C-alpha cells in the first residue's frame, strides 16, 4: 500500500510542475474529461484486479482510479480532435471486425501522435458480446497503455464498460 501511495505522490508532484500550473487552474475541456474518465475506470479496474485477496482492496482501487484519472487527463489534454477521431475509428473497427490479438493502428501525420487498439478476448455477458482490449497511444514518443472491456449494445454500438 505504501508503495502505491508513493507512486501516486510521485505522479502528482511531477504532474503539477511549473509547466502545468496553468492547466490546473482552467476548466478541463472534453478531451481531458474523456481521458480522465477513461483513466479512472482503467486505473481502478487494474488496481482492483492486482489487489485481489488483499484486505486493502478498496483503497487500492480508489488510488488506482485516482492515478488513472490524472494520467488519463494528461493524455487527453495532448490529443487533438483528429487524434481522438482516428483513435475512436480504430477502436470501432477493431471491436467490430478484428480477431483477438489483431491490432488496428492509427497515425496522425499532422500531430505525430499514433496508437493502436487490440481486442484480446471475446465472450458473452448477460446475452451481450463483450471484448477485452488493449489500447496504446504514443504522444511525443511516450507510450501509454490502457486495458478495458467493451460490450455491444442493442443498437450495435460498442460501449466501454471498464
Owner of C-alpha cell 510521485: 10
CB 138 within 8 A of CB 36: no
pLDDT tens-place string over residues 30-83 = 455 556 656 666 666 676 666 667 666 676 666 666 676 666 655 555 577 888
CB 117 within 8 A of CB 100: no
DSSP-derived 3-state class of residue 113 = coil
Residues 6+ apart with CB under 8 A from 74: 15, 35
CB 69 within 8 A of CB 101: no
Q: Is the pTM of this model over 0.85?
A: no
> Given this model, what pLDDT does residue 84 score?
87
Amino acid at each position: 500500500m505504501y508503495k502505491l501511495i508513493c507512486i501516486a505522490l510521485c505522479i502528482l508532484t511531477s504532474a503539477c510542475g511549473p509547466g502545468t500550473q496553468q492547466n490546473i487552474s482552467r476548466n478541463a475541456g472534453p478531451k481531458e474529461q474523456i481521458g480522465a474518465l477513461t483513466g479512472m475506470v482503467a486505473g481502478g479496474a487494474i488496481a482492483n484486479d492486482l489487489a485481489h485477496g488483499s484486505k486493502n482492496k478498496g483503497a487500492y482501487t480508489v488510488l488506482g482510479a485516482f492515478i488513472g484519472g490524472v494520467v488519463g487527463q494528461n493524455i487527453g489534454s495532448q490529443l487533438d480532435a483528429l487524434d481522438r477521431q482516428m483513435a475512436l475509428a480504430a477502436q470501432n473497427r477493431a471491436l467490430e471486425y478484428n480477431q483477438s490479438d489483431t491490432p488496428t493502428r492509427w497515425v496522425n501525420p499532422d500531430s505525430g501522435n499514433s496508437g493502436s487498439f487490440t481486442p484480446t478476448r471475446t465472450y458473452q455477458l448477460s446475452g451481450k458480446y463483450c471484448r477485452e482490449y488493449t489500447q496504446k497511444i504514443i504522444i511525443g514518443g511516450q507510450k501509454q497503455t490502457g486495458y478495458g472491456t467493451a460490450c455491444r449494445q442493442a443498437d450495435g454500438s460498442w460501449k466501454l464498460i471498464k
